[in-house]
Amino acid sequence: MIDDDVVGKVWVERPGASLPLDEMLLDRMALTAAIILQPRRVLTDAEQTRNLLFPMDELAVLTSCAALRIEPSTTVRVVVYTTGDGRRLPMSRERSPGRSIEIEVDGECLILVADSFVSTPEFVSESVTRSVHVGISLAAAASDVNRLVGTARFARSQASGLEPIMKADDLGALNLLAPGHNVPYNAIPDIVRAAELCGSEQGLELLATLRVYLRSGTLRSAANRMHLHHSTVAHRLTRLSHHVGFGVDVAENRARATAMMMVVDNQ
């Protein structure tokens, strides 16, 4: 029986009388037959997308990648936003890899996008007009992107009216402050680039200069503590900024630079 409907029968044929375990054997055969005959519902693209972003296990990830026609190694990001009016932001279907589509989970809209995703003017304008805050996650392989959904949410929490779209990359090591984070260090570009400098004497010198600068508070104070001319300290910080990809001596990046150095110093 399947869903109270009789779809067939199973039986045992053999010469002679029945045996003590025949009834158990028939029960097991009937259960196996029911499982084989049970029609399996094909999951929708939305369900597969949700399973990829919030998987039960590794098998669910690989199954969803296959169903959505996304190579597990493809580098992707997650875009997260919430809207009070229920209307979704304009997003071109071509921006989502494979067959993945925008989904809604517990009031949040989530979209899987390519690593190279750049917000269109229409997307930005709509976000500003409707006061919608958007977060874009760190990049990861499609098979691992579920681990970085939290970075998209954290980025969204740091967005503002002046800057409604926040990218997790621009928060650097601060992503480690995301509630319940399990973000691997190698997913954070700031940490990866800073760690590269630890392999050379010049790189260590640049990091040491930043360390003193952050503790001193000003360029001249750092120069005095290091017994250097302030232009030398400024030059080193400029070189370091070019390497890590953001201005380490810019006031609004102080928290980001401090978090990066805390991780580097504790690795």
Question: Which pLDDT score, from 0 to 100, does residue 128 have?
Answer: 86
Phi, psi for 173 (deg, rounded to 5): -70, -10
The answer to which of 57-71, 178-192, 195-209, 215-229 has the lowest mean pLDDT is 178-192
CA–CA separation, 37 and 7 (whole Å): 9
Q: Which range among 118-122, 162-166, 215-219 shows the weakest confidence by mean pLDDT? A: 118-122
Q: What is the mean pLDDT of residues 246-258?
A: 94
Count of alpha carbons within 13 Å of 77, Cβ hemisphere only? 26
Cα(77)–Cα(172) distance, integer angstroms: 15
d(CA 153, CA 134) in angstroms, rounded, equals 8
| Angle ∠(205,209,213) on CA atoms, nearest 5 | 170
Band (pLDDT 50/70/90 cuts) for residue 1 is very low
pLDDT in tens, 37-75: 666 678 899 999 999 999 988 889 999 999 999 999 999
- Write the DSSP symbol of residue 2: B
**d(Cα 10, Cα 31) in Å, to the nearest integer?**
10
**Is 0.85 surpassed by the pTM of this model?**
no
